[in-house]
Amino acid sequence: MSIRFGILVYPMPYIRSLCAFLLFSSSVFGEEFEVADGLTATSAVLPGLVQHPVMACLDDQGRLFVAEASGENLKKDELLAQTPALIRLLEDTDKDGVFDKQTVFAEGLTFPQGALWIYDSLYVMSPPGLWRFTDTDGDGKADEREELVTGFDFTGNAADVHGPFLHPNGRLFWCHGRKGFAVPDSDTGQILYEGKGARIWSSSLSGGDVEPFAGGGMDNPVEIDFTDEGEILGTVNLFYGRPRGDVLNFWAYGGAYPRHDQGQVVAEFTRTGDLLPPVHNFGHVAVSGMCRYRSGRLNRSWQDGWLVSHFNTSQITLTKTERKGAGFTAPDTQTIFQLLKPDAHLTDVLEDHNGDLLAIDTGGWFRIGCPTSQIAKPDVAGGIYRISQDGESYLPPSYPNWNRITSERVSQFLSSKKDWIAERAITELAVRGDPAIPELRRIINSQDSSPTARRNAIWTMARMKFSEATDLLYESLTDPDPGVRQAACNAISVTRTWQSIAANEPAERDIELERNRTISGALALIVRGDEPQVAREAAVALGRMGEARAIGAIAGRLGRAGDDRFLQHSLIYALIEIDDYQGTHNLLTSENPAVVSGVLWALEEMPSSKLQVLDVLPFLESRDDKLRETVYTLALRHHEWDAALANQFFRWRENWSDGQKSAMESIVPAFLDHPPMRDFLTSLFTSPDTERQEFGLSLLSESPSKVPFSKEWKPVFVASLAPDASPDTLSLALDAALRVETQDLTPHLESLLTSPDLSRIQRVQATRALATQDSAISAPAFDLLVEILRDETDPIPRREAISILSGSKLNSARRERIAEVIHTFGPLEMASLFDLFPVLHTPEQAKAVADAVVASPAFANLSVSRLRKLFEPYQELVGTQIENKIKEVEEQQAQREERIESLIAGMEEADAENGKKLFASGKGTCMVCHAIGDIGGKVGPNLTTIGRIRNSRDLFESILFPSESIARDFNTFEVTLEPSGEKQIGIIASRSDREIELIDPASQSHFLPADDIQSIKPLSMSLMPMGLDQTMTQDELRDLVSYLLSLK
């Protein structure tokens, strides 16, 4: 596919009105774009009609409803108080493809992010809930509004509620990010659902029957759309954290998805094994709105591709998917459109009724959570663009008058190739109800009706509550077309749940239960032998129906699911929902390891779970890798199994098999806070076999928490910490020493500090181990650390030395010596100033620290209030020096735009190859925190593809003023520990119920037990310090940015 360049223009009839508008508005004629060959882009709206559109939808007459932001970056409380946003109705009165009339349809909203027209009302997600707006008098303004569902928390950064979207089966769906929720019953106010994780939600059109559909630890599911068969695909931001991955995802019912570093949130979800994977990972692009391109009119090869708008790069991509088992794969993704206008941000894309595409640009206002800039530019307005065939005149669609069409004629539209007409026909027939049943029966039973018509007839019946509709759905389970069978399974899953049947009166309930028994027999046949995607949907239906008689069919297909993770998931999840513990438990006798693995997960997760350690021990040594992994994972969830697992390991006395060793490596470290497992570890340390002793050290080094020391372990440590021990054994012993609580090893660790046979990094390891035993480190250890700071240029041992000193007890004499070398501190290292010097003891110390701080390029990153407090006792000596520097920095920050512009101006001469060498050499210390490929650290955002999403201005702004441009999920937090009140500052790398991992400014990880955390407070500063640019010349800085821009 070739790309052509162009200029966004308006049709000639509007040039005159446009010229008048340009007297007080920025020009749109210079807005260049790139678009796929044969296409062009024009403005789809007259100038001035919209300012900051976010997302939009069309009604069944071609009117465009636009969710529009106020252009202000407001937090939750401000949004609730001001409700500044609105829904704007746009109309194309002369049918030329340009919307020329606007009406404020609804106002007084917080932050609407989506709109959906159904029959006679507009449904909108605007936090904290789902709203319905109706215009009863036809004046283009909603005179009725109702909040149907509420309880979805938000912060104002747009990672909250999006939608809603109408499923073919008639249910509303919407997305909610990882913000937390407490969803009440609309009648009683009782909380139905409460949690933290991101989810896809569903309800009836009235807002009743609310239920979560799927979810995970990701940050922000943005939008979804549906296949003809009812499957749900959608865009998700921060599906992966480090490195960031924004994805196209297939949402399976009951599915639990990443992120892997959000263990505490993921723990909310029912698991069926590994977290489910995405369809396609775009990388760090900030995906936004999306849709399925149903018609493919602009390019027939694009039909049914998934169009995705990218906020960062102002691109629209098209991803083609193929079925892979019960899931999807994406063999091809291509860019079909890109706005090149500075500060353009595409937030949505939708298909017009004539097959053109409409792209929504929100402009430059948004900055809360914006990954490209923290500088709001509300004066940069957005727009709506039409992507169409180049040289082709706009042909307006024709709209049926539904009020004058018979049900027979309406039913003929079910086979329409225009999906928007077919959808309106489905809704019309469902509203007409019983009179439409004969037409639907005719379509279902006719050999002449197309699969499309039969499938849409099923979607119509899914929205009805007639017994005849249920009978026709049952008949459709044997339709020759797999798509029709799949749709029928989906319709049954939402209309025949055990809860809906149980709600009937006793006599009717018995009738409906018998009908379900009949239906479940047909569904079981589908599970046993149908196409994977159809079997998946049938399993969903059986689980929601609670049909225990289908357990055998489900287990049988589970044993033949192979590596089809989505089919596995749906089958296991069905067993969980059926919740027949004994019937499922009986399947543990299966000789098929895939069946046993799935059954163990079902037994663990079903509501009536009574899973015991004796159920899993027989499979601890299984030859099947997947089954063993299941056993390990379940064991780690049950710390009450400690004694039984330890006893099992004791029984493995002879030569260990690979499976036995794997089991111990996976389980023992996590249980070392329990006496039975420490007893087993003691048996390894007291063994005469040195391999077992070293294996014990290896297990101990992997413990996630500190372990009480046992005197029986000391001989192994003493021998392994000897200077003449092998390097591998010594390194292993040092790692293990970090995990134990004892001072018995102090003399042996200290002896390593002065050993001439050890490298400096080994001696630093010994110092780190000593520091974990006693915060008052020894004189030899302190001397080594100061020596490193004085002489060493490698950032890794320097970082380690500062980290150890920052956590140690330092007297006045030791601070004097640190003051002597503080002038060597780089920008990252200077972040530890206040840890090393909470007070200054002498005038000499104050002068040395002040000189170093003033000379440091990181001065601007230091807290002014803390600096003034630190030097307050020595005001006469250094006060003027500090205040002058503060004033100088403030003046530099006031001129930041000039600095950035001057750097950009010289980019044409920049040398990317030299920039690559600068990064690899550690110049500027970028690689301490950032990785490119396999080189560098993991504290800051991964830069491997940074050139795809950032321009030179963004990068210079991030380097010069890092706190003005903080990438999402790299915010800095202050964690207060109890009972000491100790405060630690850093980035939260991961969370679980047991602990958080905090990465400090020296790039060291600290695992803080959840029980010891008093509070966690977000800070507005970046962990990346200012001043890194001052470690390089301007030319070197340009070279570095040129290299980063080349990384795509």
Do the strands 256-258 and 280-283 form a parallel or antiparallel pair, or are they unpaired?
A: unpaired
Neighbour tally for 818: CB within 10 Å: 21
pLDDT score, position 699: 97
Cβ within 8 Å of residue 802, ≥6 positions away: 789, 825, 829, 832, 836, 1002
Question: Residue with structure tokens 């479940």?
Answer: 520
Distance between first and last Cα of the chain: 19
Laid out side by side, the sheet with 357-361 consists of 39-43, 383-389, 357-361, 346-351
pLDDT score, position 1003: 65
8 A C-beta contact, residue 218 and residue 198: yes
pLDDT score, position 377: 80
Q: Which residues pair with 936 in a beta bridge?
A: 931
Q: Which residues pair with 125 in a beta bridge?
A: 130
Q: Which helix (H) or strand (E) holds 129?
A: strand 129-134
Cβ within 8 Å of residue 888, ≥6 positions away: none
Neighbour tally for 755: CB within 10 Å: 14
The Cα 665–Cα 677 span in angstroms is: 12
pLDDT score, position 13: 42
> What is the average pLDDT score of the chain?
89
8 A C-beta contact, residue 931 and residue 937: yes
Q: Which residues pair with 195 in a beta bridge?
A: 181
Q: Which helix (H) or strand (E) holds 213?
A: strand 211-217
**C-alpha distance from residue 167 to each of 227, 382, 867, 882 (Å):** 9, 30, 58, 63
The Cα 418–Cα 298 span in angstroms is: 14
Look up residue 866 and give its amino acid: R
Q: How confident is the model at residue 762 (pLDDT cuts 50, 70, 90)?
A: confident
Do the strands 740-741 and 707-708 form a parallel or antiparallel pair, or are they unpaired?
A: parallel
* Closest to 572 in 3D by CA, of 1046, 331, 845, 253: 253
* pLDDT tens per residue across span 579-637: 999 999 999 999 999 999 999 999 999 999 999 999 999 999 999 999 999 999 999 99
* Closest to 465 in 3D by CA, of 430, 516, 423, 497: 430
pLDDT tops 50 at residue 21: no
Angle ∠(441,447,450) on CA atoms, nearest 5: 85
Three-state DSSP at 637 gives coil
* pLDDT tens per residue across span 26-41: 333 345 899 999 999 9
Comparing 56-65, 105-114, 776-785, which segment has the lowest mean pLDDT?
Answer: 776-785
Domain ranges of the chain: 3-389, 477-605, 612-700, 718-741+751-759, 777-894, 910-1045
pLDDT tops 80 at residue 488: yes
8 A C-beta contact, residue 208 and residue 182: no
8 A C-beta contact, residue 658 and residue 691: no
pLDDT tops 70 at residue 981: no
Q: For 477-605, which CATH superfamily applies?
A: Leucine-rich Repeat Variant (1.25.10.10)
Both tokens assigned to 595: 């069946």
* Closest to 63 in 3D by CA, of 10, 125, 115: 115
pLDDT score, position 1000: 73
pLDDT score, position 924: 63
The Cα 413–Cα 635 span in angstroms is: 56
The Cα 789–Cα 825 span in angstroms is: 8
pLDDT score, position 1: 43
Look up residue 278 and give its amino acid: P
To 10 degrees, what angle do helices 896-905 and 952-960 make? 130
DSSP assignment string, 394-448? P-PPP---GGGS-HHHHHHGGG-SSHHHHHHHHHHHHHH-GGGHHHHHHHHH-TT
pLDDT score, position 1025: 61
Q: Which residues pair with 43 in a beta bridge?
A: 385
pLDDT tops 90 at residue 296: yes
* pLDDT tens per residue across span 881-908: 999 999 988 887 777 778 888 888 888 8
pLDDT tops 50 at residue 20: no
The Cα 397–Cα 352 span in angstroms is: 9
* Closest to 233 in 3D by CA, of 276, 270, 295: 276
pLDDT tops 90 at residue 546: yes
pLDDT tops 70 at residue 156: yes
Both tokens assigned to 187: 């009648």
DSSP assignment string, 92-104? -TTSSSSB-EEEE
pLDDT score, position 14: 42
Do the strands 256-258 and 211-217 form a parallel or antiparallel pair, or are they unpaired?
A: parallel
Q: What does DSSP assign to residue 189?
A: -
pLDDT score, position 774: 60
Q: How confident is the model at residue 391 (pLDDT cuts 50, 70, 90)?
A: very high
pLDDT tops 80 at residue 1002: no
pLDDT tops 90 at residue 935: no
Asked if omega into 112 is within 30° of 0 (cis), the reply is no
Angle ∠(175,178,184) on CA atoms, nearest 5: 70
pLDDT score, position 974: 74
Cβ within 8 Å of residue 973, ≥6 positions away: 985, 986, 987, 988, 998, 1016, 1017, 1018, 1019
pLDDT score, position 137: 95
Residues in the chain, how many?
1048
**C-alpha distance from residue 887 to each of 280, 536, 883 (Å):** 50, 66, 6
Comparing 87-96, 106-115, 301-310, 337-346, which segment has the lowest mean pLDDT?
Answer: 337-346
**Environment class of 841 (CB within 10 Å of its CB; exposed 0-12, middle 13-18, buried 19+):** middle
Per-residue pLDDT, averaged over 769-798, amounts to 82
Check if 3-389 and 910-1045 are the same fold.
Answer: no
Neighbour tally for 1046: CB within 10 Å: 13
Higher-scoring residue by pLDDT: 982, 875:
875
pLDDT score, position 1023: 65
Could you give the percent of the chain with pLDDT greater than 70?
92
Both tokens assigned to 24: 């007080």
Q: What does DSSP assign to residue 185?
A: P
Comparing 180-184, 433-437, 617-621, 778-782, which segment has the lowest mean pLDDT?
Answer: 778-782
To 10 degrees, what angle do helices 551-558 and 532-545 make? 150
Q: Most confidently modeled of 13-22, 316-325, 855-864? A: 316-325
* Yes or no: domain 3-389 corresponds to CATH 3.40.50.2300: no
Q: How confident is the model at residue 566 (pLDDT cuts 50, 70, 90)?
A: very high
8 A C-beta contact, residue 386 and residue 44: yes
pLDDT tops 90 at residue 772: no
pLDDT score, position 1014: 72
pLDDT score, position 23: 28
Look up residue 603 and give its amino acid: L
Per-residue pLDDT, averaged over 484-500, amounts to 95
pLDDT tops 80 at residue 967: no
pLDDT score, position 982: 62
Return the CATH number of the domain spanning residue range 910-1045: 2.30.30.100
